Structure 1
Amino acid sequence: MSATPEHRVAILALDGVTPLDLSIPAQIFTTRPETPYETTVCGLGDLVATSGGFSLTTGGGLDRVRTADTVIVPGYEPGGDPPATPPEEVLDALVETRERGGRVVSICTGAFVLAAAGILDGLRATTHWLHIDELARRFPSVTLERDVLYVDEGDVLTSAGVCCGIDLCLYLVRRDLGAAVANRIARGLVAAPHRDGGQAQYIPAPVTTVGETSLSETRDWALHHLDEPITLRMLARHAGVSPRTFMRRFAAETGTTPLQWLVSARLGKARELLETTDDSVEQVARACGLGTAANLRLHFRRSLNTTPTAYRRTFAR
């Protein structure tokens, strides 16, 4: 997507919508000088009841959904009961969006709506881990990814619960406008600039236990030394623990391995350098710790299915 043409985003709020799930895309896709998004909260009527016990006024109806470039369905009806099937007119509007080439996205249990519309048939998808068994039972034609943050199937994307919606929405901005813009928005939200979709959505120990300290300082140290060789032993030494303990705690805190995290961080830095500097591909490769232009091209091809030069041509400011 070009950074210039207007891109219409419709957030489809159904009765019982989770306020936090709704606010995530509303905040990330709000109009900014550097973004082309025009965002509208849409519903079946002028008022939508939220799961928080209050109502919100919508800015548009299903007509806005039918003409949007991106439609986002936040989660709804949280708790022990799985979401009910939405009205046929909602499902029809989503089908029309896909048929004309629009992008359709779900956050958390919004995946039930996409599945009910048949949009997820034959595709990979995810949802909140509490409801993934019910989604599998109701919609066996959907291939469910149980331990990921989000799934990208081109113009159909789904995320796991709540905070994973932040990861997915920032991922969409990065895909649309590049890493520099997405990172600026993430900093404004005080959110992690990039988490790969393949990281685990359910982390058994999201907070440290008594006697342990977070590894966030070590991750921050690594982000400031990406141009240098970084080994597992160096990370463990910085954290003051053994390599084995470091591996265990790193996975518990992040849902990924130190190596995967480092590669992702280095690719993120490379993307931003390609967008914001005139450095050569070789210089960028050295600055982000990937060594050579050939190695940078290899990682770009594997992770982004493009080349550094093509990426720069698309996103350079």
Structure 2
Amino acid sequence: MAAADTPFFLDAGARGQRLCVHHAAAAPFAAAPRGQILLLPPFAEEMNKSRRMTALAARAFAAAGFEVLTLDLLGCGDSSGDFGDASWAHWQDDVRLAAGWLDARALPRPDGGRPPLWLWGLRAGALLAPAVFDAVTDRPLHLLLWQPVTAGKLQLQQFMRLRVAADLIGGQAKGAVQAMRDQLARGEPVEIAGYLLAPALAEGLDAAQLKPSPRVARVAWLELSPRENATLTPAASMAVQAWQAQGAEVRAAVCQGPSFWAATEIEEAPRLIEASLAALRAEADFAAAPAEAIAA
């Protein structure tokens, strides 16, 4: 762990504690960071596969002068509780709690304003961003999105397919998704790939969406592809246009690199970190994505 990485437990009251890692901004920005960044982690096993990448990125962001906070949500990692204890509302409370911790540390600049807060949403973590939109109101709010999932229904379907794949091997795949949904509707948890999914978490995730908000000033939308010179999918392009129509400045890029959150082995995508740094550092022409941040 780098010298500036400080792990600690954030008190969540009756809901226990949340393991966080604080990455202090490096000199000359230690006393006045260029901005703050809060990681909104991905879902289930995707977070475990992403831990190395998020740690590398957090350290790079801190070295560039940003204060970074990562956290384990209720039932994840070394935080209190089991995964089966979590609901979507609990996780929304967790990110608001973490955002509040950072917000209390954000001192005014000489001009009287406060540094921006970047919500760093990885995959389904992006769906937790709206929980912070109304919780932090008196400072610029930006989004740093890594391969964002903008509809929780898609994430839930993908997660359920893990169970379908396992059942297929055992010859029991027919009607598996509907059977799981019926079980959740009865108020019973479902076990998928070693995770006990509670109805309250499934229901909240299923309904969650990330929609353009006037609260957000800037959006860095970054995706990965194993191919060089790849472009955004039509769905991502439409989402970017919707954010622009809402008035946000948007920087979008497709970086060459592996889908590390879904890889069999732990993978790294250095180009994604480089593109993120380019977006974080941008002051004037934010929407112009440099070519070197897109292709290897």
TM-score, with length taken from structure 2:
0.37
Higher relative contact order (CA 8 A, sep 6+): 2
Higher helix share: 1
Higher strand share: 2
TM-score, with length taken from structure 1:
0.35
Flag the structure with larger Rg: 1
